[in-house]
C-alpha cells in the first residue's frame, strides 16, 4: 500500500512527502488502518522496519482530527522509550513528520540541561517524548500533568523490562487517564509474555499485530562468522577493515574497557574512531553520533547502548568484535545495517568465550550464521601496539609520605608491623541484693 491510500490529514501527508516515504512497510500497512480507526495496537516487527513512523503518523492524525479540549498547552500525547538515544531519534523523526502539523514536540531525557527541559515543559508541549526517569522527576515536582493525555505510545517495551524500567513505567501509566479514555500503541521487536501482560493491563483490548518473518534478522544483511583466538582478534579486525573498504562501520563490544582498548589501537593504526558507552556524557554521545551520521567519522565503537532504536543511514558494516551473551542483542546489533531496504554486511568474531553464544544466537534468529575460515593473509601483524587501559585503582589510605606494606599503617609503625590493640578492662557489676563477687553470682543462703 501507499500512504496516499490512507485518510490522513493534509499536514501529515506533507510531512510524509518531506520524509520521502511512498510505500508502506509491512508493519505500517497492517497497523495504520487499526490505529487510524482508533483501535489500540500492540505491534511486533523486526528492527529497522518503520515502527517509529507507524506510530508517529497515527498519533499526529489523531491529534489533528480531534479538537483540543484544553486551552492550556498541556501534553496530549506521551511517547515512552528506554534509552536517551532512542528518545533523540524519535524526536528527530517526529519533527520531520510533524513539521506542518503545528504541534509542539518536546524530548525529555537525562544527561542534558535540567532546567532547560523543565522550563520547556512549563511553557507547554503537545507531544512529550522521554525516558521514564526524568519524566517521573518532573511529574513529582508537578511541572506538568498527565491528566490530558489522549495518545500513549510505548516503544521497545521488551527493553523496558530488560533495563529494569517496569516499576517506573507502571508509576507513569497509573497517572494517565483511564485506558478506555485514551488510545494506546505499543511497538517492539519482541512481544513476549511479560510485555503482553502489561498490554492487557493498561490497554483497551489491544489488537496484536505480528510481522515476523521466518528469519528474525533483516533480509538484506550478509552475515559471516569467523572463529578466531582471542589474541588474533585485533590482527584479523585490521585485515578485514583494510580488505572490505568499510565506509561507515559500527563495531560492538561487550564492555567499556574492551571498547577503550580497541579505540586506542585503531586510532594508533590510522583508523579514526570514537566510542560511546553508557557512562559517556550525554552531550558527547550525541555529538559523536552526529559526526558518524554525517560521515565525518568512519568507525563507531559502541556497547549495547547503541544496539537498539538508532536509525543511521548508510551503515555498510556491523562488526561484532565480541559476540553478545543475549541472542536478542545480536539481532538488534546487526539491524543497524541494511535498514529500510538497503544492503549491508555483519561480521562476527567468535573467540574462546564467544563460541559458547553461537548456538543460542542461531536458535533465536532461526537461521545458521554462515562460517568462514580466515586465511593467513587476512591477519595483520605489523601494527602499532598500545597498552590495555588499566582498571582504576582503589583510593589508597594516606601514609604521610611513607609507603607501608599495610595501607592503613600509622606514622611510626614499621612496614608490616602489627600493633596490638589495648583492650579496655570490663567493668564488673557491683555486688548487691545478696550477691557476692567471685562466687559465680549465686545468692547466699
Residue 129 sits in the same domain as residue 244: no
Q: What is the pLDDT of residue 47?
A: 66
Regarding whether 22 and 138 lie in a shared domain, the answer is: yes
pLDDT of residue 408: 46
Domains contained in the chain, number: 2
With CA atoms as reference, report the closest residue to 38 among 201, 183, 186: 183
Output the pLDDT for position 83.
87
User: Are residues 205 and 343 located together in one domain of the fold?
Assistant: no
Of 164, 186, 211, the residue at which a domain comes to its end is 211
pLDDT in tens, 72-113: 789 999 999 988 888 998 999 999 999 999 999 999 998 888
Which grid cell sits at 409? 599503617
d(CA 247, CA 299): 8
Q: What pLDDT is recorded for position 396? A: 53
d(CA 351, CA 362): 17
How many Å apart are CA 79 and CA 90, to the nearest integer?
9
Q: How far is CA 209 from CA 90, 152, 160, 188, 206, in A?
A: 21, 17, 20, 11, 9
Q: Cα–Cα distance between 50 and 209 in angstroms, integer? A: 14
> Which pTM does this prediction carry?
0.71
Query: Are 63 and 101 in contact, with CB atoms under 8 Å apart?
Result: yes
Please tell me whether residues 75 and 31 are part of one structural domain: yes
Residue 18's CB: how many other CB atoms inside 10 A?
A: 12
For 407-426, letters b (16+ CB in 10 Å) and e give eebeeeeeeeeeeeeeeeee
Longest CA pairwise span in the chain (Å): 108
**How high is the pLDDT of residue 354?**
93
**Those residues with Cβ within 8 angstroms of residue 162's Cβ, 6 or more apart along the chain or in another chain:** none
Distance CA 306, CA 61 (A): 30
The residue from 189, 211, 233 where one domain ends is: 211
Domain identity same for 40 and 156: yes
Looking at the structure, do residues 86 and 231 belong to the same domain, yes or no? Answer: no
As a whole number of angstroms, the distance between CA 274 and CA 297 comes to 8
Residues 6 or more apart whose CB falls under 8 angstroms from that of 299 comprise 241, 246, 249, 250, 251, 266, 271, 272, 273, 274
Res 214: pLDDT = 47
Q: Residue 191: give its domain's CATH number.
A: 3.40.50.300
Inside any domain, residue 398: no
Buried b (16+ CB within 10 A) or exposed e, 350-382: bbeebeebbebbeebbeeebeeeebeeebbbee
Residue 139 lies in domain: 3-211
Cell numbers representing residue 132 in the block = 521514564
Domain boundary pick from 378, 407, 440: 378
Residue numbers in the chain where pLDDT is lower than 70: 47-48, 68-71, 212-219, 306-310, 340-341, 390-445
Amino acid at each position: 500500500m501507499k500512504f496516499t491510500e490512507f485518510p490522513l490529514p493534509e499536514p501529515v501527508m506533507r510531512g510524509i512527502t518531506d520524509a520521502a516515504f511512498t510505500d508502506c512497510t509491512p508493519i505500517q500497512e497492517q497497523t495504520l488502518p487499526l490505529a487510524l480507526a482508533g483501535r489500540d495496537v500492540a505491534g511486533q516487527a523486526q528492527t529497522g522496519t518503520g515502527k517509529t513512523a507507524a506510530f508517529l503518523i497515527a498519533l499526529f492524525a489523531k491529534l489533528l482530527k480531534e479538537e483540543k479540549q484544553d486551552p492550556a498547552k498541556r501534553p496530549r500525547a506521551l511517547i515512552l522509550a528506554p534509552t536517551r538515544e532512542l528518545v533523540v531519534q524519535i524526536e528527530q523523526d517526529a519533527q520531520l513528520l510533524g513539521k506542518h502539523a503545528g504541534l509542539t514536540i518536546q524530548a525529555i531525557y537525562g544527561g542534558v540541561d535540567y532546567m532547560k527541559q523543565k522550563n520547556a515543559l512549563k511553557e507547554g508541549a503537545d507531544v512529550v517524548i522521554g525516558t521514564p526517569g526524568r519524566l517521573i522527576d518532573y511529574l513529582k515536582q508537578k511541572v506538568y500533568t498527565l491528566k490530558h493525555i489522549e495518545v500513549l505510545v510505548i516503544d521497545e517495551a521488551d527493553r523496558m523490562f530488560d533495563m529494569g524500567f517496569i516499576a517506573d513505567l507502571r508509576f507513569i501509566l497509573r497517572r494517565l487517564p483511564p485506558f478506555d479514555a485514551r488510545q494506546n500503541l505499543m511497538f517492539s521487536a519482541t512481544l513476549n509474555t511479560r510485555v503482553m501482560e502489561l498490554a492487557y493491563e493498561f490497554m483497551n483490548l489491544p489488537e496484536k499485530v505480528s510481522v515476523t518473518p521466518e528469519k528474525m534478522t533483516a533480509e538484506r544483511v550478509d552475515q559471516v562468522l569467523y572463529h578466531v583466538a582471542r589474541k588474533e582478534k585485533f590482527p584479523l579486525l585490521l585485515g578485514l577493515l583494510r580488505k572490505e573498504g568499510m565506509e561507515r562501520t559500527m563495531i560492538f563490544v561487550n564492555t567499556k574497557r574492551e571498547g577503550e582498548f580497541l579505540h586506542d589501537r585503531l586510532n594508533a593504526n590510522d583508523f579514526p574512531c570514537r566510542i560511546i558507552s553508557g557512562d559517556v556524557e550525554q552531550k558527547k554521545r550525541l555529538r559523536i553520533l552526529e559526526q558518524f551520521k554525517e560521515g565525518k567519522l568512519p568507525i563507531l565503537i559502541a556497547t549495547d547502548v547503541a544496539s537498539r532504536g538508532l536509525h543511521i543511514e548508510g551503515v555498510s558494516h556491523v562488526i561484532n568484535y565480541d559476540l553478545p551473551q543475549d541472542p536478542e542483542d545480536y539481532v538488534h546489533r546487526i539491524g543497524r545495517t541494511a535498514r529500510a531496504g538497503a544492503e549491508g554486511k555483519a561480521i562476527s568474531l567468535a573467540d574462546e568465550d564467544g563460541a559458547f553464544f553461537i548456538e543460542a544466537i542461531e536458535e533465536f534468529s532461526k537461521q545458521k550464521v554462515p562460517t568462514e575460515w580466515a586465511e593467513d593473509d587476512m591477519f595483520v601483524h605489523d601494527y602499532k601496539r598500545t597498552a590495555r587501559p588499566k582498571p582504576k585503582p582503589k583510593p589508597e589510605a594516606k601514609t604521610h609520605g611513607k609507603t607501608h606494606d599495610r595501607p592503613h599503617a600509622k606514622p611510626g609503625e614499621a612496614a608490616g608491623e602489627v600493633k596490638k590493640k589495648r583492650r579496655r578492662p570490663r567493668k564488673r557489676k557491683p555486688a548487691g541484693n545478696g550477691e557476692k563477687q567471685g562466687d559465680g553470682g549465686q545468692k547466699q543462703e
